[in-house]
Structure 1
């Protein structure tokens, strides 16, 4: 019987110390009821019963993280997206601009309303028949 009392005394002392340490290291937001200092005083002054009270009443359970919602399941995110008609209108405008740019020729002498390029001026280099680009120069 004496051995049982010694084992129970050691277990109570270990529980008491563990309760004090656990109460002291918890952030103040995790203490329910009274302040952190009051809980430490309760656990220290009432050894085993104070620890039991701390774990049952005083210690707040950590909040489980909220459910993670994928963007396509989040109604707030989906509400920020543009309506398909806005996207269709933007695509239509971009296609019109692309068609307009494609209709313009690569030749700068060609105007969009003309199908044939204009004739070269005599002032432009290469307008004469000399393939070497010399105009009446000596050889």
Structure 2
């Protein structure tokens, strides 16, 4: 009977060491449920039961881990963004809008450098005096 218990203890110790090492070396992305540190603590503090929990609940198989891809490598993403004809139509509309904006940019009120020029002087009104009667300050006929 002592031999059987010794063998069971040896198998339990090997299993415990294996699960501690397996839990510690797995990347954090392959740990389910709680964090990697929590799984290591569970496996270390509850030797056999923690190892069984790790293998059944906490460890994810490599095939279960989602492989990360760039968006342009993902066919689902490419299918969601629309077909090429939709993109061509959108590009055509944007080019038309740009052409309209360029046509508006030919407005003679704006200078080529983008600065608004000083507005032209308004035409003289019939009731306004001649230029010679004004002294430059808007005080007509002032002496002095």
The normalised TM-score by structure 1 is 0.46
The normalised TM-score by structure 2 is 0.45
Higher Rg: 1
